[in-house]
Structures are given as C-alpha cells and as structure tokens.
C-alpha cells in the first residue's frame, strides 16, 4: 500500500541508480565511507527502515545486515530526511533541532551533506 | 537528553519559581569554595541583584528544554534583559578580566543561545574579537559554550596569540574538558574531543598527553550518574563567583603548583574545606525532591574525585602528601562523609542516619528508603563502580590512561582535512542565517502545505475590471509571475471561479511552486470537482511532492470523472488504492482509445509514481507523438528521464520544452538539476539563476543553487545566494 512506503524511498532509489553512474563513482572516490541511515515514518526510533549507503563500493541497500560497521549512522524522520537530502534543511540545523541524530565518527558525519544526493526532477 | 537535564534540571523537577536547573561546574566550584567566609565578603561587594541573577539566568535555561528532542514544546520567551543585567553585575564586581571571562562563560552564553532559538530575533552574537586578549578569550569561550549548549559543532574563529601562561592553559584545558563532557554527555566521544580540541587549538593550547585532564575517556556510566544526581539539585547562587574566585587566584599565582592547595588551606583551613563542603551539601540536600538513588553524595563524590585527581596530577611530593589531598582522596573514595558538620567514616546505612539528622530533606530520604533500602544504594554504587573498574583509587588510575591520543589524532586529521576550516565555519554561520530566514518563511509555507493558499501582498491587479482575462493573456505571453498576480485578483473577486483557480494552479506549477499549485488546485476542485485538468494537475503535483497516496487518489478521480472511461471505474470511490489496480485500469482505457494522449499522460505520471521509469518514458513518448507541441509533456519526459538517472537525455527533452515555452521556470530548474546530478555543478549554476530570475520565489531553486555553489567551491557567491541577491548572481553567471 502506498502509505507504507516512505517518501525517502524515492530519494534512496534515485541515489541507488545514481551511484552506478559516473557521477556516483566520483562520489565514492571523494567520500569513501559507509553510512547507515535509519528512516522512521513518524518518530525517530519507531518502525525504522534501515538503508546502508555504501560510498566505498558505490552501493545502496535496504536493511541492516551488511559486512562491517558503518562509519556513521544517522536517524531521521521521513520528512526531515527529504528536507536534508534536497537541501531544504541544512544538516547542521537539522542536528541542532534534533531532527537528525548522529552516531559514530564525527568526521564521517560531517561529510554527509545534501549534495551527495541526487535531486528529484519535477514533472 | 542528558544535556537538557543537565542544564534545566530534568523534567521531573517540581521546584516552582526557583531555578530548577543545575550547573555541574557551578556545583563543583561551589563545592570547592562554596560559601566560605572570604567569599561572603566578596559577595557583599556585589550588588544585591546578584543572588537573583543566577536564578533568572537559569530560568533562561528553561527554554533549552525546547532544544533537540524536546517533546514538551514549550514556548520560550526568555527575558534577555535579565541575562544581560546579570552579566553587568558581574562585570562591575570583578576587575579581573579573566575571571570575568569565566563569569561570562558561565552566565553569559545562555542568553545569546536562547535568542538564537527564538523566532525572528537577532542571530547569535559573534565572538567579540576586538579588545584585549582577555576579552578575546571571553568571546571565544562564549562561543564555545554557546555551541556546546546548542549542541552544535564548535568552529572557533581564528584568534591571535593571547599570551596565556602555561598555568592558564592548563586550567582552561581542564575546565573546558569538564564542560565539554558534561554538555555532550550523550554525544559521541569523538564529538566531545573534537569540540574541546577545537577550543584548545584556537587558544594554542596543547591538547596532548601532557594534559592529563581530570575527566578522561570512558565515563559514560558516571556521566549518567552525574546527570541524575545533578538533576534534582537546586541551583545555588554564587555559582559563578566560586569559579571566578578560584580562577582569579590561579591566575595571580602562576607557576606555583602548591598555591592552589595552599590557598585553600589559607582561606579555609584544612578542615575549612570540609565545612564549606558540607554547607554546600546541605544546600544540595534541601532540594525538594530527589529521585531515588541520586544522592548528593554521589555528586559530592564525583566532585571530590575530580578534585582529587586534579590534585594528584601534580607530582610534587609535598603536594601529594598534603593532608588536604589525602582528605580529599578519602572523600572521593567514600571512606569519609560529611555528616552533621563533622567528617565521619562512612557508615553502612548512612541513608537512615541521614534521615534522622536532616529533617529538611524528608521527602527525599523517604523516597529513597522507599525505593531502595539503605544498603541497596551502596550495592548499586559498588556495582556501578566496579563497572568502571573498582571503587577505590584504581578509578583514578584508570582515568589517567586517557584516550587522549585518539582525540589528538582525529583532531589532527580533521585539521589537515580542513574540516574545521574557514569554509565550514562560514557555512555554519550561513546555515544559521538560513535557519532564521526559514523560520520567517516557515509560516507561509506551513499554511500552503496544508492546502491553504497564500496570497501575495501588494497586488496591482486588484482593482482590475477583468483580471481573469488579463491573467490568461499574461500566461500566454509567458509572464508567469505577473499572471499569478492577475489571477489572484480574479479569485479574490470571484472565489468560486474554478477556471481562475485552475489556471492559477497551473501557473504555479510551471513556476516550480508545487505547494501553491496544490493549494490553488484544491480550491479549483472544490469549485468544480469533475474538472479533469484539475485532477490531473493535482495528481502531478502530489507525485512531485512524493505524496503517493494522494496522487493515486486524484489520478483515479480523473478516470472516474472522465465521461468515456468512467465505466471502467467503480461507481463509488474506493477508500484506498493499489497502484497496480489503478495502472491496470488506465491501461484498459488506453486500449479503449489509443489516440487519447491524456490517458497516456496519466499513465506516464502513474508509472513515475511507482518508479517504473521505462514504462513512464514509453507512455510519454506515445503521448508526445500525439501532441508534439505540448511543452509540459516534454518537461515530463525530461523529468522522468532525469529521475531514472538518464540525465544527459533529459536535457534534450527540457530543451525542447524550453523552445516551446521560453519562460518555463520549471524546465529551467530541472535543467539545473540534471547538470547537478551529473556532478556538473558549475554548469548547473546559470540554469538555476535563470530560473530564479523568472521566479524569485522558487525556494527549491534557491536551495539547489546553494548546493551547487558550494559543490563548485564558489564560496564567494554564497553570500549573494543567501541574501538572494539576484543581480550579483546574474552578472556572475550569465547563460
């Protein structure tokens, strides 16, 4: 059912495909870290969907299990993630307001900026 | 959140009227110096306003409840004035600038931070970098605590050499470590370390192993303990005084390692410390409610441990052997307690004894006994202590084995990678400005996000005799923003004019403003529920906003209201929609009449929803074959391609759209997006600028422009972007 899908799914899908392109390969060279992103539909910590954005290998997978540990883990609400990924909300602001929670290496977290995500085009 | 509790005293504190917060540093200082006689004298020098000052000030701390993660959502309107007044009183009282610096650090920062959080007020005070070194230092420390309290990364501005002595440096280092650990109790280790190192680095203080600070690595459990224990403590006045005094003394006596201990002894006598301490304790104990295990003694022990450790760092044998140190060590190990103005060895059931002797804290003791029997605390504590590797002196040793090296390495790396460089600090400041702007704009946006249309101010078309016609003309000519104004005038005159609303919605969509488009279209739908174009437009806009369910509903509605295809749909609208079903229905419709481009358009939109991009592209192609001059179709095709990561192909589709309609803001913005998604940030910038020239209100485009600018390392133009200075941007980035 459509409502059970997160809006973030769309962005993640696009990101997944993006990683396969040249621009995506650039990203892996530039960043080379593994991020785990937990997206919760309503409230952080509940019913989270886990995505692993592997910017070392250039893959994006849904679901927690992967080899090794992520360099940084982020937790968002669905809407807030969209805002950050499209640049509507600055990650520092998000962090300050508690819309984004971070665990793990701070330097890795600082590299997580909106520009690593491709933007959706409007019909 | 630990930090919030630290400062605001926890949610459960029910001390009305008085400040319900605590400052661990203050408590420590208070414990160390407290209300000694000498201090009393000093205090008398201070104007009477002071004792109430901290309370007011700490009430300012309440707004911090609304900091990250707060579910209480209290409105905060802190009295800024009180904070400044408090500051002023301190300034007047102490001539020692550096002491002032610490006062500022203690008391000042909250009010700037609070003003940050308020909507629409002036932005955070920048560190005061003029003036004498002490002022600079205070400014820097200001910012550090600001950022700490705000829970945001600390980006120190560059400071010249402040000429801090070794002693100063050591003190600053120690204190800031403590502070950082408290503020960031629930953040990551690395975060704490990098914050402190940022501060230290800008002050040119060595943060290497020489600094065996009092608070080291693994400290989590004790942090929690600390927080809990502090949670209920009522704020005691004279907080900052204690700090200032101590600091002042230290500063005046450089290079005399024993001075500190001796000064205590001088001031208060070896036992005087104990008496102050117990005074401090009794103040702590008179807090109204305390949660179970969280005993002031834990706090006291914490403090004494810190104290002991700091003192122990000094390897001067005289120091080590001083009675004072031994006394403090014993205190820290819980072998002694302060009881009834005397120092006694700790009894097993101190809680019951305590209850007998201190009737001022009955509820606390009762509760404690109720919750835990007297021994349980000791057990728990012992258990916890073991967890931190034993309850006695080993604790101290353990802490000496710091993880300082980790800090330093990471910090070194960060500096090398420019993580703390100028760029990021600018970004941060800019981000802050954006936040303020966002707050202001938020009201507008939140209205339209709920489908409420936001009219523009100063509409020149309001008195126009036939604004609808005017609007249509303007739309045809491609002057979208003007058309919007005219159409708004129309619908203000005739709120039920569905055509007016419809056109308004379409214009907004073409202007790349889906929010307003949706709001307008909803009105149009109200006026005319069966208008197919309206339904389609609603479907499209919701798809763009990633609102799947709503989009499906409108697209289904399109089918439902279509005279030809309504037979395909069921008579009443089903409550929920499955994408596959709806798509199936549309495919049937397409088979019914393959020449109907609209059906294919809807199909294309549907497939976009389900991200079946190949099918969507095919549908749009079919539609385009039937209607080759429909610019919006070209845009849709382009967008579909772009979303399926065929950005290069998308660009040619957009170009076709723009050929047909040169002022198609959405297409311009989409072009920019396509370049940016391919990593061609430089190329994307002029497209965004062009889109913005046509519609300065296109917020999306502003965000994307910002991203492109910083990715292309055009930080120089970021300022222009933030201030929405179109002229400068246009000059710099012509197409």
The answer on pLDDT for B359 being more than 60 is no
The answer on pLDDT for B198 being more than 60 is yes
* β-bridge mates for residue A51, sequence order: A37, A62
Distances in Å between the Cα of B660 and the Cα atoms of A46, B93, B149 are 48, 74, 54
* Other Cβ atoms closer than 10 A to B337: 22
The answer on pLDDT for B561 being more than 80 is yes
The answer on pLDDT for B640 being more than 90 is yes
Instruction: Report the alpha-carbon distance of residue B596 to residue B586 in Å, rounded.
Output: 11
The answer on pLDDT for B391 being more than 50 is no
Taking the whole predicted model, whether its pTM rises above 0.80 is answered as no
Residues of B (354-393) whose Cβ lies below 8 Å from A: none
Is the distance from CB of B240 to CB of B108 less than 8 angstroms?
no
Residues of B (133-152) whose Cβ lies below 8 Å from A: 150-152
* pLDDT number for residue B238: 46
Contact B435 A93 (CB under 8 A): yes
Q: What is the pLDDT of residues B129-185, one digit of tens each?
A: 444 555 666 666 666 666 655 555 555 454 555 555 667 767 777 776 787 677 666
Contact B153 A22 (CB under 8 A): no
- 3-state class percentages of chain B: helix first, strand second, coil last, to nearest 5: 65, 0, 30
Write out chain A residues lying below 8 Å of B435, CB-based: 90, 93, 96
* pLDDT number for residue B113: 40
Residue from B509, B512, B548, B633 whose CB has the most chain A CBs within 10 Å, to mutate: B548
Rounding to the nearest 10 degrees, give the CA dihedral for residues B433, B669, A122, B485: 80
* Other Cβ atoms closer than 10 A to B462: 14
Residues of A (88-107) whose Cβ lies below 8 Å from B: 88-90, 92-93, 95-98, 102-107
Q: Out of B68, B417, B707, whose CB is closest to A97?
A: B68
* pLDDT number for residue B568: 82
Place of tokens 């408090």: B86
Query: Encoding tokens for residue B350?
Result: 């101190």
The answer on pLDDT for A2 being more than 50 is no
Compute the C-alpha angle B287/B288/B293, nearest 5°: 75
Which has more pLDDT, B564 or B571? B564
* pLDDT number for residue B505: 93
The answer on pLDDT for A116 being more than 70 is yes
Residue B224: which of B181, B253, B259 has the closest Cα? B181
Residue from B624, B677, B709 whose CB has the most chain A CBs within 10 Å, to mutate: B677
Instruction: Report the alpha-carbon distance of residue B196 to residue B202 in Å, rounded.
Output: 10
Instruction: Over range B613-636, report the average pLDDT.
Output: 93
Is the distance from CB of B194 to CB of B207 less than 8 angstroms?
no
Which range in B161-170, B222-231, B513-522 is most confidently predicted, on average pLDDT? B513-522
Question: pLDDT > 90: what percent of chain B?
Answer: 21
Contact A98 B67 (CB under 8 A): yes
To the nearest whole Å, the CA of B546 is away from the closest chain A CA by 6
The SS3 call for residue B16 is coil
Phi, psi of B208 (to 5 degrees): -85, -165
* pLDDT number for residue A111: 86
Contact A93 B431 (CB under 8 A): yes
Residues of B (178-197) whose Cβ lies below 8 Å from A: 188, 190-191, 194
Query: Encoding tokens for residue B372?
Result: 């835990």
Is the distance from CB of B690 to CB of B678 less than 8 angstroms?
no
* β-bridge mates for residue A36, sequence order: A52, A73
Give the list of residues 6+ apart from residue B734 with CB closer than 8 angstroms, or none: B686
Compute the C-alpha angle A108/A110/A116, nearest 5°: 90
Which has more pLDDT, B541 or B439? B541
pLDDT mean across residues, chain B: 66
Contact B69 A98 (CB under 8 A): yes
Query: Encoding tokens for residue B326?
Result: 């031994």
Flag whether residue B650 sits within 8 Å of chain A, measured between CB atoms: yes
Residues of A (27-86) whose Cβ lies below 8 Å from B: 82, 86
Q: pLDDT band at residue A10, thresholds of 50, 70 and 90?
A: confident
* ipTM of the complex in this document: 0.90
Instruction: Report the alpha-carbon distance of residue B268 to residue B291 in Å, rounded.
Output: 32
Instruction: Report the alpha-carbon distance of residue B242 to residue B257 in Å, rounded.
Output: 19
* pLDDT number for residue B691: 93
* β-bridge mates for residue A49, sequence order: A39
The SS3 call for residue B338 is strand
Size of interface A-B (CB pairs under 8 A): 135
Closest chain A residue to B616, measured at CA: A123
Distances in Å between the Cα of B590 and the Cα atoms of A27, A48, B81, B585, B595 are 42, 39, 69, 9, 8
Which has more pLDDT, B423 or B589? B589
Q: pLDDT band at residue B451, thresholds of 50, 70 and 90?
A: confident
The answer on pLDDT for B241 being more than 60 is no
* Other Cβ atoms closer than 10 A to B308: 25
* pLDDT number for residue B196: 65
Instruction: Report the alpha-carbon distance of residue B195 to residue B153 in Å, rounded.
Output: 7
Contact B608 A123 (CB under 8 A): yes
Instruction: Report the alpha-carbon distance of residue B449 to residue B258 in Å, rounded.
Output: 65
* pLDDT number for residue B304: 59
Flag whether residue A120 sits within 8 Å of chain B, measured between CB atoms: yes
Write out chain A residues lying below 8 Å of B514, CB-based: 122
Contact B188 A86 (CB under 8 A): no
* pLDDT number for residue A89: 86
* pLDDT number for residue B571: 72
Residues of B (558-577) whose Cβ lies below 8 Å from A: 576-577
The answer on pLDDT for B285 being more than 60 is no
* Other Cβ atoms closer than 10 A to B716: 10
Strands A34-40 and A100-104: unpaired
Long-range contacts of B496-503 (CB under 8 A, 24+ apart): B496/B527, B497/B468, B497/B527, B498/B524, B498/B525, B498/B527, B498/B528, B498/B531, B498/B534, B499/B468, B499/B524, B500/B468, B500/B471, B501/B527, B502/B528, B502/B531, B502/B533, B502/B534, B502/B537, B503/B468, B503/B471, B503/B472, B503/B475
Contact A90 B434 (CB under 8 A): yes
* pLDDT number for residue B383: 47
* pLDDT number for residue B396: 44
Q: Out of A23, A95, A115, whose CB is closest to B678?
A: A23
Query: Encoding tokens for residue B277?
Result: 């301490």
Rounding to the nearest 10 degrees, give the CA dihedral for residues B374, B380, B382, B385: -140
Q: What is the pLDDT of residues A99-115, one digit of tens each?
A: 899 999 888 888 888 77
Write out chain A residues lying below 8 Å of B577, CB-based: 2
Flag whether residue B41 sits within 8 Å of chain A, measured between CB atoms: no
Q: What is the pLDDT of residues B664-692, one digit of tens each?
A: 999 999 999 999 988 888 999 999 999 99
The answer on pLDDT for B644 being more than 80 is yes
The answer on pLDDT for B447 being more than 50 is no
Give the list of residues 6+ apart from residue B711 with CB closer than 8 angstroms, or none: A115, B676, B681
Residue B603: which of B583, B621, B589, B574 has the closest Cα? B583
* pLDDT number for residue B52: 40
Instruction: Report the alpha-carbon distance of residue B577 to residue B572 in Å, rounded.
Output: 13
Which range in B92-106, B318-332, B415-429, B663-677 is most confidently predicted, on average pLDDT? B663-677
Residue from B546, B614, B715 whose CB has the most chain A CBs within 10 Å, to mutate: B546
Measured between alpha carbons, how far apart are the two ends of chain B, in Å? Answer: 50
Angle between helices B110-117 and B49-60 (to 10 degrees): 40
Sheet holding A59-62, edge to edge: A59-62, A49-54, A34-40, A72-77, A100-104
* pLDDT number for residue B24: 53
* pLDDT number for residue B415: 45
Give the up-direction half-sphere exposure of residue B430: CA atoms within 13 A in the CB hemisphere.
22
The answer on pLDDT for B535 being more than 90 is yes
Distances in Å between the Cα of B207 and the Cα atoms of A92, B177, B201 are 26, 10, 8
* pLDDT number for residue A24: 84
Place of tokens 């930080």: B715
Q: What is the pLDDT of residues B61-113, one digit of tens each?
A: 343 433 443 333 333 334 444 444 444 544 444 444 444 444 444 544 444 34
Residue from B537, B609, B647, B703 whose CB has the most chain A CBs within 10 Å, to mutate: B703
The answer on pLDDT for A65 being more than 70 is no
To the nearest whole Å, the CA of A67 is away from the closest chain B CA by 23
Contact A96 B669 (CB under 8 A): no
Residue from B151, B193, B645, B653 whose CB has the most chain A CBs within 10 Å, to mutate: B645
* pLDDT number for residue B403: 42
Instruction: Over range B265-287, report the average pLDDT.
Output: 48
Residue from A29, A72, A119 whose CB has the most chain B CBs within 10 Å, to mutate: A119
Instruction: Over range B191-205, report the average pLDDT.
Output: 65
Closest chain B residue to A123, measured at CA: B636
Which has more pLDDT, B283 or B439? B439
- Residue B157 burial by Cβ neighbours in a 10 Å radius (0-12, 13-18, 19+): middle
* β-bridge mates for residue B343, sequence order: B338
For every residue of B705-724, DSSP letters joined together read: HHHHHHHTT-GGGHHHHHTT
Instruction: Over range B468-491, report the average pLDDT.
Output: 92
* Other Cβ atoms closer than 10 A to B115: 18
């Amino acid at each position: 059912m459509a409502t059970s899908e997160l809006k973030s799914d769309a962005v993640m899908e696009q990101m997944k495909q993006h990683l396969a392109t040249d621009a995506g390969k650039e990203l892996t060279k530039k960043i080379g870290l593994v991020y785990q992103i937990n997206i919760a539909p309503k409230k952080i910590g509940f019913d989270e969907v886990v995505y692993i954005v592997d910017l070392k290998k250039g893959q994006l997978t849904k679901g927690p299990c992967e080899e090794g540990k992520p360099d940084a883990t982020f937790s968002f609400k669905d809407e807030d993630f969209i805002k950050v990924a499209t640049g509507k909300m600055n990650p520092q602001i998000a962090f300050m307001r508690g819309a984004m929670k971070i665990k793990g290496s701070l330097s890795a977290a600082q590299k997580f900026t909106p520009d690593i995500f491709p933007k959706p085009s409007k019909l | 959140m630990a930090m919030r509790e630290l400062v605001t005293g926890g949610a459960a504190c029910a001390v009305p009227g008085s400040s319900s917060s605590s400052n661990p540093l203050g408590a420590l200082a208070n414990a160390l110096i407290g209300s000694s006689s000498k201090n009393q004298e000093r205090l008398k020098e201070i104007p009477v306003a002071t004792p109430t000052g901290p309370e007011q000030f700490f009430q300012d701390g309440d707004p911090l409840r609304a900091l990250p993660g707060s579910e209480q959502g209290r409105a905060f309107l802190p009295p800024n004035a009180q904070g400044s007044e408090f500051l002023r009183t301190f300034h007047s009282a102490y001539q020692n600038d550096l002491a002032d610096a610490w006062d500022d650090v203690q008391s000042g920062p909250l009010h700037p931070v609070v003003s940050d959080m308020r909507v629409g007020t002036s932005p955070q005070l920048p560190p005061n970098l003029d003036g004498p070194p002490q002022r600079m230092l205070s400014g820097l420390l200001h910012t550090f605590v600001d950022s700490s309290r705000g829970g945001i990364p600390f980006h120190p501005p560059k400071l010249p050499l402040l000429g801090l002595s070794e002693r100063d440096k050591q003190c600053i280092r120690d204190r800031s470590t403590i502070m950082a650990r408290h503020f960031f109790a629930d953040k990551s280790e690395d975060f704490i370390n990098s914050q402190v190192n940022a501060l230290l680095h800008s002050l040119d203080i060595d943060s290497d192993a020489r600094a065996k600070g009092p608070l080291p690595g693994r400290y989590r459990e004790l942090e929690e303990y600390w927080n809990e224990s502090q949670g209920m403590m009522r704020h005691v006045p004279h907080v900052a005084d204690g700090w200032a005094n101590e600091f002042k003394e230290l500063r005046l006596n450089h290079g005399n390692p024993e001075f500190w201990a001796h000064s205590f002894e001088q001031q208060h006598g070896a036992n005087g410390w104990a008496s102050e301490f117990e005074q401090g304790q009794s103040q702590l104990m008179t807090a109204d409610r305390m949660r179970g295990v969280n005993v002031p003694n834990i706090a006291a022990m914490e403090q004494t441990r810190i104290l002991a450790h700091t003192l122990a760092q000094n390897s001067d044998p005289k120091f080590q052997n001083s009675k004072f140190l031994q006394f403090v060590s014993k205190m820290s190990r819980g072998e002694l307690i302060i009881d009834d103005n005397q120092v006694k060895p700790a009894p097993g059931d101190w809680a019951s004894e305590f209850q007998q002797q201190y009737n001022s804290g009955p509820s606390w003791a009762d509760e404690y006994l109720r919750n835990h029997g007297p021994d349980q605390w000791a057990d728990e504590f012992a258990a916890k202590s073991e967890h931190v590797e034993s309850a006695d002196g080993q604790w101290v040793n353990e802490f000496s084995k710091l993880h300082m090296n980790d800090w330093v390495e990471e910090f070194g790396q960060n500096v090398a990678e420019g993580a703390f460089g100028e760029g990021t600090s600018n970004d941060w400041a800019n981000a802050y400005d954006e936040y303020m702007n966002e707050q202001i704009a938020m009201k507008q946006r939140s209205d339209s996000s709920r489908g409420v249309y936001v009219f523009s101010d100063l509409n020149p078309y309001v008195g126009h005799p036939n604004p609808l016609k005017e609007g249509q003309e303007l739309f045809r000519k491609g002057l979208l923003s003007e058309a919007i104004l005219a159409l708004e005038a129309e619908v203000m005159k005739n709120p039920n004019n569905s055509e007016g609303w419809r056109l308004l919605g379409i214009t907004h969509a073409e202007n790349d403003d889906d929010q307003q488009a949706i709001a307008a279209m909803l009105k149009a739908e109200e006026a005319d529920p069966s208008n197919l174009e309206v339904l389609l437009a609603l479907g499209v806009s919701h798809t763009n906003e990633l609102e799947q369910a709503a989009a499906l509903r409108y697209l289904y509605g399109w089918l439902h209201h279509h005279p030809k295809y309504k037979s395909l749909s069921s008579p009443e609208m089903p409550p929920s929609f499955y994408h596959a079903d709806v798509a199936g229905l549309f495919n049937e419709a397409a088979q019914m009449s393959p020449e109907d481009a609209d059906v294919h358009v809807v199909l294309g939109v549907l497939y976009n929803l389900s991200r079946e991009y190949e099918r969507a592209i095919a549908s749009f192609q079919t539609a385009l074959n039937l209607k080759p001059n429909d610019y919006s179709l070209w845009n849709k095709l382009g967008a579909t391609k772009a979303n399926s990561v065929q950005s290069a192909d998308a660009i040619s589709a957009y170009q076709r759209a723009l050929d047909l309609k040169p002022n198609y803001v959405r297409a311009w913005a989409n072009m920019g997006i396509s370049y940016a998604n391919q990593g061609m940030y430089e190329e994307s910038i002029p497209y965004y600028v062009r889109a913005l020239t046509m519609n300065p209100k296109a917020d999306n485009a502003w965000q994307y422009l910002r991203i492109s600018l910083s990715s292309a390392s055009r930080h120089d133009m970021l300022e222009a972007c933030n201030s929405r200075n179109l002229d400068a941007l246009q000059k710099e980035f012509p197409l």
